[in-house]
Structure 1
C-alpha cells in the first residue's frame, strides 16, 4: 500500500502531460490501496456505457459512440473508492469517540471504508452505536414532526439520482417548505441565475456534437485535467482538426496545456502529446470581467471602424438587431472602458487581449466553456453574463458549434434542479404538483446553502437532513458552523462513507448507510435502474450490478420513502411503497410532472448517449421578460467584491487531482508537483520575495474580510508557483475556514471561493 501523507512532503515541478502513463500509474496505485476485488475491473468496463452505470464523479456527457474505456483517472478513483472492500463497522465506532475522530484527516476518515449499519449517536459515550432501521426512521419522524417546517433544511448532494431527488423534493414540499439547499448553491448557481436572466434558460446550450462543429473554443476558469478529464478526448479531437482553444485561467493547468491519450497506443509508446491551448492567458483571480470586456472593446471598435468605411462588419449586426436587447448600453460601456484599467484588473496586456479578440473575430462558431473559476466570485453572475455578452456579439448562441458550456461538477447536480431540488418556486411546476398529489405546495422561497448556514449559526434552523455529501465540510465559515451544529435538534446524514460532517452531532443524530450507484439495487419488482442528467442536458440510465458492501444497506429512494411515511399524513394519490418497489413508477411520476422534458421516460432511459431534454435558447427562442437575449453592462471590472490593498491577497481555493469535491483520494497533486501533503500555499515568486518569505517556510493565512472575526488557516508550506501577482492558491476544503458565510456571489449566493481576501502571517 502506497504511503500517502508524509512528514517530509515533496514539492517539485511535474514535467509530464495530462493523461499518459501518469494516469495509468495512478489507477494502478489506487486499486490495490482500496483492496478492490477483480469485479471492480469488470465494473470499470461498464462505466458510462449503454446499460452500464453513470460515473459517480463528474457530469461530463456519456457519448453514444463510446471509447473502449469510457472512464478517466478521476472516474476510476471514484469507482474504486465506492467498490473498496474496506469497511467501517459498529466495532470501529465502539473503539473511537467522535471527539477523537475529529482529529483524523478527511482522507483517513473516508479511507477507512464503507459504512455497514445504521447508526445512532449516543451522547453519553460520544460514540455511534448500531441501531435498527425501524428504530432510526421512527426516531427521525418523532423528532421532525413537532418542528416548524420552516426550521428544517433538506440538503442533497449532486450524486443523488433523479428518482431519489424527485422524491426528496416532493417530501420537503409536502412537509411544508422549500428549504432544499444543494450542491448547485455552492458551485453553478451563478450559472442558473446568469443564463436564465440573459437567455431564458438556466443551463448551457451546447451538446457533445458541438465539439465537432466549432472552429474556436474559449475556456474560462475550469481545470479540465482534474475536474472533467474525459473532456480532454473532445478537446484533443477539436485540436486535431485545427480548432483554436483560447484559455483564460490564473494557473497553468496541465490538462489545458498538453495531453497524452491513454487509449492511443502510438502516443503511449512514443510519448506523443497534443497541445491543447493555442493561447494561454493567466488572468488574475477575479479579472475575467475585465478580460472579456477588453475582447469586446476590440470587437466593437473594429466594427465601428468597418462601418465607417463600408467594410464587412465584425459583429453579427443582424443577429443583434433581431435577437438581443440592451446592446447599446453594453457597447457604450465597452467603448468607454480605459485600457489601463482593463490591463490592471485583468492582469493581462492589451496585446494579449487583442490576440484573443482576433481569434474570436475570425471564428464562425465559438463555444465558451467555463467552470467555478467564473461562478465562485462576488460578481460571479456578472462573469456569466459577460460570457453571454461575448457570445451574442457574433451570434454564437443557437447555431451548431456555438454557445455557453458550463461544466458541472457532481454527476447529477444539474438533474436535481430539473426535477425539483430548488428553493425557488419559479423553477417548480407547483400547480402540477397540486393537481397530481392534492396538496398546497409552499410558494415562499426556501433556504439556499448560504441561508441554511446563517440559520444553523443563529439557531433558526433546527434540523438538517443530508441526502449524501459532506455539507459541513463543503460550506464556508467552518469554525462557526462546527460550533453551531451540536445545537441542532436533529441531524440525519445519508451516506456511503464516514466524513467530517458525521463527527458533529445534534441533539438527535442518525447516520444512515445507503447503496452506492454501482451496486445492485434489488427491490420487490426486481433489479432497479436510476437516472442522471449530464452537463449538456442529456438524461442517462444507470444500472448497478456490483454486490452491495453490506446486507444492511438501503437505497436512497427507500430511505427517503421511509422518512416521508413518518412525517407526512397518508395520501391516497401517492404510494411511497409502490414507488420503492418499482422505480419505473417514480419515473412515471416525473414524466407526469414534467411531460415536455420526460416524455416516454422509461422507454428512453437507456438511449445511447442519453436523450436530450431540449433547450429553447438553442433554438433562439428567448424565454426572458423582453423575449430577447439580453446584454448586460458590467457594474465594474473586478469580480472579487473587495478592493486591493497593500498586503491583501486574492486567495483561490483549489482541488488537487487526487480529490473530487470534498472526497480526498490521496495526497498527491501530480500536475502541480505536490506529493505527501495538502498543506500548501501557492504564491508568485516575486510576491514571496516582496513579503520576505522563503521557499518551504511555514506560514498561516488570516481572513481579511473586515468583519472583525478571526479566521485562520495554519501550517501552510510556502511554495513558489506560476500564479499571477497578488493571488494565492490553497486546497479546498481545508481553506474554507477562511471564507465568511457572507462572502458570496451577489444574486446567486454562491460562496466566493475563488477570490477570498486574506493576509499572510509568518
Structure 2
C-alpha cells in the first residue's frame, strides 16, 4: 500500500538533513557567528539549544545539534528585523490575515511596543513607560484575575523569579506549556510511582536490552535522541515502536556525523518491530502485552519452576497487582484486537521481546499524553514496566520525551498552579510574605475564565498561547475583553495580534545572545528531559540594543507592580544571576546543592529522582498497579462517519513556530493544508485524491467547529484514523476535550467528520 501513498524513501538524517539545513541557512542568513554558535551548542560551557529538551552528553559529538536545533539557532540569529517601521506600515488587522510562517519570517523584534487602538498599530515606547503602565494596570485589578503564562523556553532563573512575582503579587495562576503536552505525565506518573518526571539517565541507554516507544516522533521532535538509539541497536538492543504514524526517524537513520555512512549509503534500521496502533488504542495494546507476559509467567512457572515476573520486586515494592491481573485476565483478545487495531500475534511478538530483555526502557511522547484518558495510558504502561521490576535499576526505566528546552525545569522551580507542589512555607520564610494557598489556573481553566470575562490580565512569557490552545475562534473572540495583555517575545506571532484594551509587546534577548548586566556577562540554566541541569552562556551580539533579558523584564515588571521588599532585591538579582541561583538553592536544597559551583558539569548535574531510588512517594508508599477501566483512551466511541483525527507537527516546525513548508520525512512539500488518509478509507468514503474538503468537530455539544481547504492526500495510517497539522487543526478541539486527570488537551484522537 505504501506505493499508493505520500512517503519518504530516505533515512532520517543523511543528506536530506544536510540539504534542509542548507536551505534554512540561506533563508535566515544568520551571519558568520553561526559557525561558532553551532560549535558550542549543547556542549559543556556552551549554549543550550532552545529547541527540544533531550539531554546533553558529557562527551558530546563534534556537532551536538540536530536539524531542528540548528534551524532554531538560525531563526534566532536571523538578520531579519521586525522594527517599528514594519508596524507603521501594517495595521494589526492586516497582520491577522498573514500565515504563521510569514509572521515568523519578519525576524527579530527590536523595540518595546504599545498597541494603539486608535490607529490599530503597534507604536514604540520606552521600557520605563511600559513597566510603569503595566504595573499601574496590575495594581488596579484583583491579582486573582491575572494570569502569568510561561512557555517552555525561559531559563530556570527567569522561571523562578516569574513564579515568585506571581505569588508576591497574590496568585498561583501560572499555566505553562506543559499543561498542553506532558502535564499528563506529571499527574499520571506521580500517582503511580510518586515522581512527576521520568526515571532514566543517559547511561541507561548504554545498558538496556530493549526500548519500547509509544507515540513519539523522534526524527522530527528530538533528532539528537537518534544517536543513543543507533548505538543501542548496534550493540544488539531491540527497539519496538507503537505509533499510528510510521515516523521515519524510528524506522531508518543515517548519521550525518559519520562520514562512512554518508559516503557509502550505510544506514541503521532503528525499530525491530513497528506497529501502527489505532489512535487512542494504546491501553488495549499495552493490555495485550501484559496479558501475554502474565500467561508466559504462568507457563514458565508451571513447566520449569522459573518466573518471568520479578515477584520479589512486586511483593516488596508494589501494591494492586492482583486487581490488575484479574482485570487483564478477564479482558478478551477480541476486544484488545478491536481497540488496538493490532492482531494478537503482533502483540505477542512485541511481548516476547519484553520478556527476553533483562532491562527495558519505555519512552513516550504526546501520543500517550494527549487523550481524554491519557493518564490511563501512563498507568497501563507503568503496569507493564512494574511486572519485571523495570523501574529503579540501571538500564531500565520510564523516559517521557519532553518538548520545549526547559519545560520540565520550569515546573521544578515553582511554575505551578498547584500550591502543594511548591515549598510555600520555605518561600514565605525566605522572602517575608504570605504566599497564596489556593489552587491557581492551569491552561484550560484560564481559558474558561477568559471566556467568561473573569480574567482581566494576561502576561505571556514567550510562546504563542492563542495558537497553541484549543477552541481558537472562541478564544480570539473573547481575548480583547481583557483589560491588559502583555507578550514577551523574540519574534512576532499570532498571539501578539489579538490584544486586550491595553497591550504591550516586549522584545527579549535570545539564549544565544550575550546577556550583559551590571556584574558582567551572565549565565542561565535549563533542565533537560533526564533531570540534568546545564549552564548556558550566550556569546552573540544582541539583535538590537533595545532588547532586555527575560530576567530583566520580569524584574522590571515586579518592581513596577509590587511594594518594596528588602528580601526581594530585584535590582540585585538582575545585576547578577548567581544571586538568583543562590535563592533557588535555598528553596530547593535537596535538588540544587552547590548550584553555582556545578553550572558546567559535563553532562549536567543530576537533581535526583526518588522513584529511581525505589522510594515511592505515592499515597500507599509503594508503586501502584492499576486495573485498567477501559481499552480506548479517546473518551468517545466509534460512530458512523466519525474519524479519529491525529494532529501532527512537520519536520519544518517547532511547536507553533513554522519555519517552512517542507515535511520531508513524510514526503509532503509546499503545503500544510492536507488531510492525510489511508487509501482504502479514501475509497470507502467516496473521496478522491486531491479533492478539497473540510473537517467538522463531531463532539456532541452542539458547537459548530470547522476547518476547511484541506486536500485529500493518501498516507499510510490505520483505518479510521486521519491526520493533519498542528496548530492549524486546534479549532476542532473543544476546550473541554482533555485528559480527565491533567486537563491536557486531547489533540491525538479528536472526533471529527469530513465535510464537503
- TM-score interval (norm. to shorter): over 0.9
2:241 is paired with a residue whose SS is strand
Displacement of 1:36 after TM fit? Answer: 1.3
1:104 and 2:98 equivalent? Answer: yes
Displacement of 1:302 after TM fit? Answer: 2.0
1:90 and 2:84 equivalent? Answer: yes
1:137 and 2:128 equivalent? Answer: no
Q: Which residue of 2 aligns with 1:582?
A: 576
2:729 is paired with a residue whose SS is helix
1:409 and 2:403 equivalent? Answer: yes
Distance in 2 between the 1:533 and 1:506 partners?
33
Q: Which residue of 2 aligns with 1:307?
A: 301
Q: Which residue of 2 aligns with 1:297?
A: 291
Residue deviations 1:705-757, cap 9 Å, x none?
Answer: 11111110110010111100111111000000100100000110000000110
Which of the numbers 530, 540, 543 marks the counterpart of 2:524? Answer: 530
Q: Which residue of 2 aligns with 1:47?
A: 41
CA contact under 8 A between 1:301 and 1:335: conserved in structure 2?
A: no
Distance in 2 between the 1:372 and 1:13 partners?
22
1:280 and 2:295 equivalent? Answer: no
Residue deviations 1:528-579, cap 9 Å, x none?
Answer: 0100000000000000000000000000000000110111111111100000
1:396 is paired with a residue whose SS is coil
CA contact under 8 A between 1:597 and 1:613: conserved in structure 2?
A: yes
Which of the numbers 254, 259, 270 marks the counterpart of 1:265? Answer: 259
1:349 and 2:339 equivalent? Answer: no
- Number of matched pairs: 753
Which of the numbers 699, 716, 722 marks the counterpart of 1:705? Answer: 699
Q: Which residue of 1 aligns with 2:749?
A: 755
Q: Which residue of 1 aligns with 2:626?
A: 632
Displacement of 1:479 after TM fit? Answer: 0.3
Matches within 5 A, 1:353-392: 353-392=347-386
1:744 and 2:738 equivalent? Answer: yes
Q: Which residue of 2 aligns with 1:457?
A: 451
Q: Which residue of 1 aligns with 2:560?
A: 566
Residue deviations 1:450-500, cap 9 Å, x none?
Answer: 001101111111111000000010000010011011101000000000000
Residue deviations 1:323-355, cap 9 Å, x none?
Answer: 001001100111011111000000000000000
1:614 is paired with a residue whose SS is coil
Distance in 2 between the 1:299 and 1:215 partners?
17
CA contact under 8 A between 2:679 and 2:714: conserved in structure 1?
A: yes
Q: Which residue of 2 aligns with 1:489?
A: 483
Which of the numbers 75, 78, 82 marks the counterpart of 2:69? Answer: 75
Displacement of 1:444 after TM fit? Answer: 0.9
CA contact under 8 A between 1:681 and 1:728: conserved in structure 2?
A: yes
Which of the numbers 219, 225, 228 marks the counterpart of 1:231? Answer: 225
Displacement of 1:304 after TM fit? Answer: 2.3
Which of the numbers 621, 636, 644 marks the counterpart of 1:642? Answer: 636
Displacement of 1:146 after TM fit? Answer: 1.4
Distance in 1 between the 2:439 and 2:288 partners?
38
* Structure 2 unaligned regions, length at least 5: none
CA contact under 8 A between 1:539 and 1:612: conserved in structure 2?
A: yes
Displacement of 1:587 after TM fit? Answer: 0.2
Displacement of 1:12 after TM fit? Answer: 4.1
Q: Which residue of 2 aligns with 1:21?
A: 15
Displacement of 1:634 after TM fit? Answer: 1.5
Distance in 2 between the 1:183 and 1:296 partners?
33
Displacement of 1:303 after TM fit? Answer: 1.7
Distance in 2 between the 1:208 and 1:79 partners?
24
Distance in 1 between the 2:490 and 2:627 partners?
46
Displacement of 1:13 after TM fit? Answer: 2.9
2:703 is paired with a residue whose SS is coil
Q: Which residue of 2 aligns with 1:396?
A: 390
Distance in 2 between the 1:672 and 1:13 partners?
5
Distance in 2 between the 1:389 and 1:610 partners?
31
Which of the numbers 654, 657, 661 marks the counterpart of 1:667? Answer: 661
CA contact under 8 A between 2:178 and 2:407: conserved in structure 1?
A: yes
Displacement of 1:612 after TM fit? Answer: 0.1
Distance in 2 between the 1:176 and 1:30 partners?
44
Which of the numbers 129, 144, 147 marks the counterpart of 1:153? Answer: 147
Which of the numbers 183, 187, 195 marks the counterpart of 2:177? Answer: 183
Q: Which residue of 2 aligns with 1:436?
A: 430
CA contact under 8 A between 2:8 and 2:248: conserved in structure 1?
A: no
Distance in 2 between the 1:224 and 1:694 partners?
31
Distance in 2 between the 1:97 and 1:352 partners?
57
Residue deviations 1:63-83, cap 9 Å, x none?
Answer: 010000000000000000000
Distance in 1 between the 2:569 and 2:487 partners?
24
Which of the numbers 497, 504, 522 marks the counterpart of 1:503? Answer: 497
1:203 and 2:197 equivalent? Answer: yes
Distance in 2 between the 1:91 and 1:567 partners?
31
Which of the numbers 61, 65, 78 marks the counterpart of 2:55? Answer: 61
Structure 2-normalised TM-score? 0.99
Distance in 2 between the 1:452 and 1:12 partners?
40
Q: Which residue of 1 aligns with 2:29?
A: 35
Distance in 1 between the 2:339 and 2:488 partners?
44
Q: Which residue of 1 aligns with 2:687?
A: 693
Distance in 2 between the 1:426 and 1:280 partners?
40
Displacement of 1:309 after TM fit? Answer: 4.2
Residue deviations 1:612-637, cap 9 Å, x none?
Answer: 00011101111111111001111100
CA contact under 8 A between 2:108 and 2:491: conserved in structure 1?
A: yes
Distance in 1 between the 2:674 and 2:281 partners?
23
Q: Which residue of 2 aligns with 1:163?
A: 157
Distance in 1 between the 2:370 and 2:743 partners?
9
Distance in 1 between the 2:567 and 2:662 partners?
52
Distance in 1 between the 2:316 and 2:538 partners?
49
Displacement of 1:41 after TM fit? Answer: 1.4
Displacement of 1:310 after TM fit? Answer: 5.1
Matches within 5 A, 1:644-659: 644-659=638-653
Residue deviations 1:268-290, cap 9 Å, x none?
Answer: 00111000000000000000000
1:128 is paired with a residue whose SS is strand
Runs of 4+ in 1 over 4 A off after TM superposition: none
CA contact under 8 A between 1:245 and 1:279: conserved in structure 2?
A: yes
1:730 is paired with a residue whose SS is strand
1:123 and 2:117 equivalent? Answer: yes
CA contact under 8 A between 2:7 and 2:715: conserved in structure 1?
A: no
RMSD over aligned Cα atoms: 0.9
Q: Which residue of 1 aligns with 2:186?
A: 192
CA contact under 8 A between 2:284 and 2:336: conserved in structure 1?
A: yes
1:222 and 2:216 equivalent? Answer: yes
Which of the numbers 539, 545, 562 marks the counterpart of 2:539? Answer: 545
1:316 and 2:310 equivalent? Answer: yes
CA contact under 8 A between 1:648 and 1:704: conserved in structure 2?
A: yes
CA contact under 8 A between 1:224 and 1:255: conserved in structure 2?
A: yes
Q: Which residue of 2 aligns with 1:242?
A: 236
CA contact under 8 A between 2:532 and 2:606: conserved in structure 1?
A: yes
Q: Which residue of 2 aligns with 1:6?
A: none
2:223 is paired with a residue whose SS is coil
Residue deviations 1:627-664, cap 9 Å, x none?
Answer: 11001111100000001001000101000000000000
Deviates more, 1:491-500 or 1:144-153: 144-153
